Chain A
Amino acid sequence: MDSNKKMLSQTLTGGNGIVISLIILAIFLVVAAVAVPSVFQPSNIGNILRVYSPAGIMALGLMLVLLTGEIDISVGGIMSFSIMLSTKVFNQSEPLAIVLLLLVGLGCGFLNGIIITKFKAPSLMVTLGTMSMYLGLAYIVSRAQGFFFTDQHPIVNTLAKGNVGGIPVSFIIYLVLIAICWFMTARTRFGRDIYYTGANKRAAFMSGINIDKVKVIVYMICGVCAALAGPLITAQIGRANPDVGSGYEVTAIAIAVLGGTSLDGGRGSVPGVLCGMVTMAFLMNMLALAGLGTYVEMSIKGVLIIAVVSVYSFVNRRTGVIRDA
């Protein structure tokens, strides 16, 4: 059993995902400094951190799922459903609404995890189904009507739009979650179990790890993160719509992958996700401020993401972390 774990550890420590993430981030920052210096204005940095922190929180939960070798594309649906259900009580009690929202996220994640582990169903297909289900529920509970966040909702407005010492509150929340997740993955047995589960399921099982339990828990964490992102996004724009989460799963996956998380499982790091979020935020912002026009920007974004992922793939193959099938 010990030899199995040793072998897994060697595989895991062979990578340098965080170093690559930092290199890529540095490249983007250098390019931005040369081509679009306005990116570095303090007000702009505050804006992009505020706007992208919710997606970063979502990516953080998703990264844990990816580490186990699974995927969750229902995060956008969870976000929509949880925020629309909680709007039913936002006018009565904000704290209660936030608790409800987190419980809904937890429950949705639990359901995902249970179906995937008990039915041994592929997570891609299961969460594709639950994505549609949660989005449908968001429409049903809201009767397809949006909800306005106004001055009557000071807590959520502060969380989404407030600043402490010039730093967006939503980014501070993100950093706190990063710290918690980093501690969990790097300093606890459960964290190690997550990596082992994704790196080699069979070996993990042989090592006595309850892989089903690990997976259910990470799906629950992922659900909570997705739910938490909801109010942070919607309060910024003043309105929660039932389709608010649509498309965020792609952004979250992109952030996780930009941060060095492998879609094959067992590889990735919490600081890497932070790098991924900052990289994505600067990339998008840099393209926008360059004044290229919406559709040119869209195309270049795609090219750059492909380029970055190719760099990861290239490096991982060269260092032997990913072997040809």
Chain B
Amino acid sequence: MKKQFKKLIVLAVVLCLVVSVALTGCSEAPADTAETDSSQAATPEAAEAAAPEETEAAAPEETTDAATGDADLTALLQEVSGLKDLEALAFFESLADKGLSDAQIIKFFIDLPLSDANQQIHDMYLEEGLDNYAESYPKGEFYDGFEWQSGMGTEIVGEYTGNELKLPFSDDYVPLAEGAVGDGSKTYKIGVLSAGLGDAWIANYQDSIGYEAARHENVELVIMDYDFDMNQFATQMDTLVAQNVDAIITWPMIEASSGPPAQRAEEAGIPVITADRVTAYADVACRVTGNFPANGAQNGMYLIHQLSQETGGEKIKADVVLIRKPAGSTADTIRTGYFLKVCSYFPGINILQSYHDQDNREESFINCQNAFQTFDNIDAVFSGDCNKAAVAYEAAEQAGRLNSREGDKKVIILSIDDSKEVFNMMMDGGKIEMNTPYTPLIGDVQLRATLKILAGEDVPQDIATPDIPMVTLDGSTIFGLKTMTPDDWYQYTFGPPYGS
């Protein structure tokens, strides 16, 4: 018995040592680095795409953009690339006097080259391979030079959720007349590979697809739900191929693992049309891209502007926590990357820690609680989506840290996406200060593009979703960009009614 007790003690000590070594050895680690999606870099397309990025980081592209104009922008980007801190701030503020449109201002911040003024952010950006992700994300044009204006869109009741929604881009963007499409005597079977209909964002995305399908009597949807499981994604994609559907539309959660199934479908002669996120297989028939870059860039704009306002433009300094989406997902890498790029001009921005979760609200909440417990100096929380912003507020409040900044100022909570919840929080005494909209209601655009392809029309491979200006509490103008108020955008928000 004595011998056994000794063994137990030895085992306990070994366990103790292992834990201690693990904790003390790693506790000084910097903000965690997400694993780069190796498949992207490994593909020839990605390799080609990555090459010019090194140049772009040093100096902006010399090409001009037909949609927005602008040799002018290129010159401005060239000019700002050598500036830092208050000089960069002054330059940003001067944009208001340069006669740029809102779209051009957003584009300026999207195209902003990475600066090495903030070495921590510069290194983090490159170590996480965010340059590769940014470069490989499609830079589509707006279809037929479309310009979105507030008020546009179509009100519907979602056939799947029963939610009252307003589709911002129906029926004006990538327009398609109601009625039979293509060969009127044929029924077009469209495979819909949905991600997880239990998610409010995805469910409303599905509603927007359903709306468009209902406008065409010879269109039939074959809906499958892979429930955020990429193994199921592959299986269901193959099933749709076996069913010989006419086209497959999907929201691919993870780029790398969605690539081979998409390639198999295309090689079987079935066009694949993605929305929002992209697959690692770049030669799909069409990609309707979201405005991830505009999300991240505008969050950066707001943070810098807000910090400047607080100090009368004398100082840009903040300790920031990043509450992020799953590493390797487009939404995480692009949003975070473009946010960091704007912040990289300011040495006073300090990233305290990155926290990832599996797009799970409870995990996000615990991450936020841990952040407030670990750091007593959090000035701002960058939230990868609106769920994270909502729980960041909850966690700050429960920790008694809402107004814990110097001078009892409120912790700045930056939000992305546009659920009704987050807009209600904005309108409820400014619990959240800002939000950059990211609408799920783009499935109708995706289906219209699909039907045009099946009808033999020429459709560009990349169709960009119009960039939407950020929403602030008072609709103020930030670096020349006129932002929207919560009332302006509320009609387009997704999800069930708040408080119901």
Q: Do A and B interact?
A: yes
B362 & A291 in contact (Cβ 8 Å cutoff): no
Residue B198 is within 8 A (CB to CB) of chain A in the complex: yes
B399 & A318 in contact (Cβ 8 Å cutoff): no
B15 & A307 in contact (Cβ 8 Å cutoff): yes
Interface of A, secondary structure class, is helix
> Which of B18-26, B43-51, B456-464 lies at the interface with chain A?
B18-26
Q: Which of B8, B200, B398 contacts A146 (CB 8 A)?
A: B200
Q: How far is the CA of A307 from the CA of B399 in the complex (A)?
A: 32
Q: How far is the CA of A168 from the CA of B196 in the complex (A)?
A: 34
Q: For chain B residues 377-415, which have a beta carbon within 8 Å of chain A? A: 387, 390-391, 394, 398-400
Q: Which of B20, B495, B499 contacts A34 (CB 8 A)?
A: B20
Query: B306-339 CB contact bits vs A (8 Å, 1 = yes)?
Result: 0000000000000000000001000000000000
Of all chain B residues, the one with the shortest Cβ separation from A296 is: B26
Q: How far is the CA of A287 from the CA of B22 in the complex (A)?
A: 9
Q: How far is the CA of A27 from the CA of B499 in the complex (A)?
A: 45
Q: Which of B200, B367, B373 contacts A47 (CB 8 A)?
A: B373
Of all chain B residues, the one with the shortest Cβ separation from A248 is: B362
Residues on the B chain within 8 Å of A51, using CB: 365-366, 369
Residues on the B chain within 8 Å of A314, using CB: 7-8, 11
A237 & B361 in contact (Cβ 8 Å cutoff): yes
B399 & A27 in contact (Cβ 8 Å cutoff): no
- Residues A244 and B200 in contact in the complex (CB < 8 Å), given A290-B23, A294-B356, A311-B11: no
Residues on the A chain within 8 Å of B394, using CB: 236-238
The distance from the CB of A236 to the nearest CB of chain B, in whole angstroms, is: 7
The distance from the CB of B356 to the nearest CB of chain A, in whole angstroms, is: 4
Residue A144 is within 8 A (CB to CB) of chain B in the complex: yes
> Which of A36-44, A93-101, A172-180 lies at the interface with chain B?
A36-44
Residue B498 is within 8 A (CB to CB) of chain A in the complex: yes
Q: Which of A41, A239, A244, A311 contacts B390 (CB 8 A)?
A: A239
Q: Which of B26, B356, B362, B367 contacts A292 (CB 8 A)?
A: B26
Query: A27-54 CB contact bits vs B (8 Å, 1 = yes)?
Result: 1101100111010010110010011000
Q: How far is the CA of A266 from the CA of B377 in the complex (A)?
A: 50
Q: Which of B26, B161, B365, B369 contacts A143 (CB 8 A)?
A: B161
Residue B175 is within 8 A (CB to CB) of chain A in the complex: no
B12 & A35 in contact (Cβ 8 Å cutoff): no
Q: For chain A residues 110-167, which have a beta carbon within 8 Å of chain B? A: 139, 143-148, 150, 152, 161
Interface size class of A (residues with CB under 8 A): 35 or more
A148 & B500 in contact (Cβ 8 Å cutoff): yes
Residues on the B chain within 8 Å of A291, using CB: 26-29, 353, 374
- Residues A236 and B203 in contact in the complex (CB < 8 Å), given A30-B16, A35-B23, A291-B27: no
Which of B373, B374, B400 has its CB near the most chain A CB atoms (within 10 A)? Answer: B373
Q: How far is the CA of A36 from the CA of B24 in the complex (A)?
A: 9
The distance from the CB of A189 to the nearest CB of chain B, in whole angstroms, is: 34
The distance from the CB of B228 to the nearest CB of chain A, in whole angstroms, is: 9
Query: B134-173 CB contact bits vs A (8 Å, 1 = yes)?
Result: 0000000000000000000000000011110000000000
Q: For chain A residues 207-251, which have a beta carbon within 8 Å of chain B? A: 233, 236-239, 241-244, 247
Residue B53 is within 8 A (CB to CB) of chain A in the complex: no
Q: How far is the CA of A244 from the CA of B12 in the complex (A)?
A: 36
Residues on the A chain within 8 Å of B400, using CB: 43
Residue B245 is within 8 A (CB to CB) of chain A in the complex: no
Of all chain B residues, the one with the shortest Cβ separation from A36 is: B23
A290 & B26 in contact (Cβ 8 Å cutoff): yes
Of all chain A residues, the one with the shortest Cβ separation from B397 is: A161
Q: Which of B24, B161, B362, B421 contacts A148 (CB 8 A)?
A: B421
A152 & B499 in contact (Cβ 8 Å cutoff): yes
Residue A304 is within 8 A (CB to CB) of chain B in the complex: yes
Of all chain B residues, the one with the shortest Cβ separation from A90 is: B500
Q: How far is the CA of A95 from the CA of B430 in the complex (A)?
A: 31
B16 & A295 in contact (Cβ 8 Å cutoff): no
Q: Which of A50, A293, A300 contacts B32 (CB 8 A)?
A: A293
Q: How far is the CA of A190 from the CA of B37 in the complex (A)?
A: 56
A236 & B20 in contact (Cβ 8 Å cutoff): no
Residues on the A chain within 8 Å of B390, using CB: 237-239
Of all chain B residues, the one with the shortest Cβ separation from A50 is: B398
Q: Which of A41, A91, A143, A238 contacts B373 (CB 8 A)?
A: A41
A139 & B356 in contact (Cβ 8 Å cutoff): no
Q: Which of A31, A146, A242, A293 contacts B19 (CB 8 A)?
A: A31
The distance from the CB of B291 to the nearest CB of chain A, in whole angstroms, is: 24
Residues on the B chain within 8 Å of A318, using CB: 4, 7-8
Q: How far is the CA of A308 from the CA of B14 in the complex (A)?
A: 12
Residues on the A chain within 8 Å of B197, using CB: 139, 144
Of all chain B residues, the one with the shortest Cβ separation from A34 is: B20
Residues on the A chain within 8 Å of B399, using CB: 43, 47
- Residues A293 and B500 in contact in the complex (CB < 8 Å), given A31-B16, A145-B200: no
Of all chain B residues, the one with the shortest Cβ separation from A28 is: B19
The distance from the CB of A256 to the nearest CB of chain B, in whole angstroms, is: 20
Which of B7, B35, B374, B399 has its CB near the most chain A CB atoms (within 10 A)? Answer: B374
B33 & A150 in contact (Cβ 8 Å cutoff): no
The distance from the CB of A31 to the nearest CB of chain B, in whole angstroms, is: 5
The distance from the CB of A37 to the nearest CB of chain B, in whole angstroms, is: 11
A294 & B32 in contact (Cβ 8 Å cutoff): yes
The distance from the CB of B390 to the nearest CB of chain A, in whole angstroms, is: 6
Q: How far is the CA of A304 from the CA of B356 in the complex (A)?
A: 21
Which of A28, A35, A147 has its CB near the most chain B CB atoms (within 10 A)? Answer: A35
Query: A259-284 CB contact bits vs B (8 Å, 1 = yes)?
Result: 00000000000000000000000001
Residues on the B chain within 8 Å of A41, using CB: 373
Of all chain A residues, the one with the shortest Cβ separation from B371 is: A288
The distance from the CB of A305 to the nearest CB of chain B, in whole angstroms, is: 12
Which residues of A does B touch, CB under 8 Å?
23, 27-28, 30-31, 34-36, 38, 41, 43-44, 47, 50-51, 91, 139, 143-148, 150, 152, 161, 233, 236-239, 241-244, 247, 284-296, 300, 303-304, 307-308, 311, 314-315, 318-319
**Would you list 21 pairs from A and B whose C-beta atoms are within 8 A, ordered by A residue?**
A27-B15, A27-B16, A43-B400, A47-B373, A139-B198, A144-B198, A147-B500, A148-B500, A237-B365, A238-B421, A239-B387, A239-B421, A241-B198, A244-B362, A289-B374, A291-B27, A293-B31, A294-B32, A307-B15, A311-B15, A318-B7
| A236-B365, A239-B361, A241-B200 given; 18 more Cβ-contact pairs under 8 Å | A27-B19, A31-B16, A34-B24, A38-B373, A47-B398, A50-B398, A139-B198, A233-B362, A237-B365, A238-B421, A239-B421, A241-B199, A243-B198, A290-B26, A291-B29, A291-B353, A293-B33, A296-B26
Closest 6 CB pairs of A and B: A293-B32, A35-B23, A288-B370, A294-B356, A145-B496, A318-B4
